[in-house]
Amino acid sequence: MPIVHMLDYVAGNVRSLVNAIEKVGYTVEWISSPDDVAKADKLILPGVGHFGHCMAQLASANYLPAVRKHLELGKPFMGICVGMQALFEGSIEAPEVPGIGYIKGKLDRFDASTKSVPHIGWNSANTAGQEVYGLRPSSKYYYVHSYKIPYGLKEELESQGWSLATARYEDEEFVGAVAKGNVLATQFHPEKSGAAGLRVLKAFLDGNINGPQTGASAALEYVQEGLTRRVIACLDVRTNDQGDLVVTKGDQYDVREKTSGGNVRNLGKPVEMARKYYEQGADEITFLNITSFRDCPLADLPMLEILRKTSETVFVPLTIGGGIRDTTDTDGTMVSALEIAKMYFKSGADKVSIGSDAVIAAEEYYATSKKLLGTTAIEQISKAYGNQAVVVSIDPKRVYVESPKHTKHNSILTNYTGPGPNYDRYCWFACTIKGGRETRDIDVVELATACEAMGAGEILLNCIDRDGTNKGFDVELINQVKSAISIPVIASSGAGVPVHFFKVFTETKTDAALGAGMFHRGEYTVKQVKDFLDEQGLMIRQFES
């Protein structure tokens, strides 16, 4: 297989990129010193996390002169995400740190006062009819970033011979990809953008600057600008009584059958089911290791294997949750949450999801008058891998009260769902740990705001009252959390029919919605949900094969 060289200067999820490169017929050789750069023909610079951190890593290993030389020689070069940003002169994310400076201009930040930031999800890369490295205006690509190349640079860049692909995120336009000659740089992740992304990757590796022909100008009329509604398939994974790792699903978190000896429900094999949902058009796949609070996470190596195998065939973002916390291994060695996260990222995860540990960290945050000590798992992982890599999974349940005066917590009037069992008309949402087994004296608003302050990039908002009920999402819960934070929220728990997804997207400002049981039991496919949303006029990503 022909070779492409890759510069791994930060330990993000490069496994998926390697898998994607192999999928399109190339093999990766790692650059391990600046001298190796000179030997490279095709060079890829991936990137995750903080602009300043990435540039500092490149500079301290003395890669910058070699990369500049490669670019000056006109050799094929591809920058991805922060690897694209690095080509510019700088970023407001780290104003004191210079970029490579190959392209004029500096990055600024999305305005979080009008929308969720980071910008996470599937959006366009519209080349305005030009054929550029297989980019198709009507395709959607997976983005995850807070900083962007301003649209205002468009004219200047075009006058310098760059071809641009642009996108819109609500009230802001930005540059999604730039290309000139042998250089292609994408803000989106081609390795996470399904077949559309693989096509771009292959075009770059094949040196196919103006192709393959995608009918770009014809596709223009089908362009719908903006982020699509994200539909996520979630797989709760645990070992069953026979010792097999299975996908299971609870009713209000109880995963045992009500009959037949109370066995753990076995709904299938994790890797196979993830692939099935990918092929049905799932925009992301989430794995939750639901019994990790019992086991030592390092003994849970099968989850790593699940990620490795899944990332070979599934080219959309993968999230892994369960057991991300500082822990002591069986031999007494201390292993930090950051090290556990690192193992997951190396195995193919794009995001880690933190549950119980986030609750404990938030309690400490309030106990120390909102001091950020930099020691929590959320802070450490987001610092190393970027906020977008840290999801906080919340497992709340309703606590009804007669009036807001009867609780110190952030309560809501339950107009939509009606009063509780004792006709109480108000409720607050109590956070739990250990898979709902322990309720804590902290509410969802407190937890979500604390986690946002600590650096979480997204909230996975479950709901124990709705889980497995097929009654639809808890709109009141989602609205309460959404109005308190500016990071994206994934609505979870209760989906039973496609119309539930339509409702949650129209009755709340949720950024994504997740389903589990209805997909696992085969009642509906992800495609059916997305087709329904499409018929109702909501923008979705059409699956490309």
Q: Are 192 and 245 in contact (CB under 8 A)?
A: no
Question: Interface with ligand 1PR by CB under 6 A: which range of 4-12, 77-85, 156-164, 486-494?
Answer: 486-494
Known active-site residue 171: no
Q: Are 32 and 202 in contact (CB under 8 A)?
A: no
**What long-range pairs does 68-74 form, CB within 8 A, spacing at least 24?**
68/100, 68/102, 69/37, 69/38, 70/37, 70/38, 70/40, 70/43, 71/100, 71/102, 71/183, 74/181, 74/182
Site for ligand 1PR in 384-403 (CB under 6 A): 393, 395
Question: Given the complex with ligand 1PR, which of 118 and 515 has the nearer CB atom?
Answer: 515
Cα separation of 153 and 159, whole Å?
10
In angstroms, give the least distance from the CB of 494 to ligand 1PR: 5
Q: Does residue number 327 form part of the binding site for ligand 1PR (CB under 6 A)?
A: no
Q: Does residue number 353 form part of the binding site for ligand 1PR (CB under 6 A)?
A: yes
In angstroms, give the least distance from the CB of 437 to ligand 1PR: 8
Q: Does residue number 461 form part of the binding site for ligand 1PR (CB under 6 A)?
A: no
In angstroms, give the least distance from the CB of 291 to ligand 1PR: 7
Q: Does residue number 118 form part of the binding site for ligand 1PR (CB under 6 A)?
A: no
**Cβ within 8 Å of residue 218, ≥6 positions away:** none
φ/ψ bin of 256: left (φ > 0), alpha (ψ from -120 to 50), beta (otherwise): beta
N- to C-terminal Cα distance for the chain? 23
* Burial bucket for residue 89 (CB in 10 Å: 0-12, 13-18, 19+): middle
Nearest to 78 by CA among 52, 109, 46: 46
- The correct pick among 323, 386, 396, 455 for binding ligand 1PR (CB under 6 A) is 323
Active-site pick, 93, 284, 350, 395: 395
Active-site pick, 131, 206, 236, 357: 236
Question: Given the complex with ligand 1PR, which of 214 and 356 has the nearer CB atom?
Answer: 356
Known active-site residue 81: yes
- The correct pick among 324, 389, 487, 513 for binding ligand 1PR (CB under 6 A) is 324
Site string for ligand 1PR, 261-300 (x = CB under 6 A): ---------------------------x-x-xx-------
Retrieve residue 538's tokens: 């909501």
**Cβ within 8 Å of residue 169, ≥6 positions away:** 110, 115, 119, 123, 226, 227
- Which residue's beta carbon is nearest to the bound ligand 1PR? 435
DSSP 480-510: HHHTT-SS-EEE-S---SHHHHHHHHHHS--
Question: Given the complex with ligand 1PR, which of 17 and 354 has the nearer CB atom?
Answer: 354
3-state secondary structure of 327: strand
How far apart, in Å, are the Cα atoms of 339 and each of 139, 404, 420?
36, 42, 43
Known active-site residue 254: no
Question: Given the complex with ligand 1PR, which of 287 and 428 has the nearer CB atom?
Answer: 287
Known active-site residue 395: yes
Active site residues: 81, 189, 191, 236, 395
Binding site for ligand 1PR (CB under 6 A): 234, 236, 249-250, 253, 255, 288, 290, 292-293, 321-324, 353-357, 393, 395, 435, 462, 467-468, 492-495, 515-517
Binding residues: 81, 323, 462
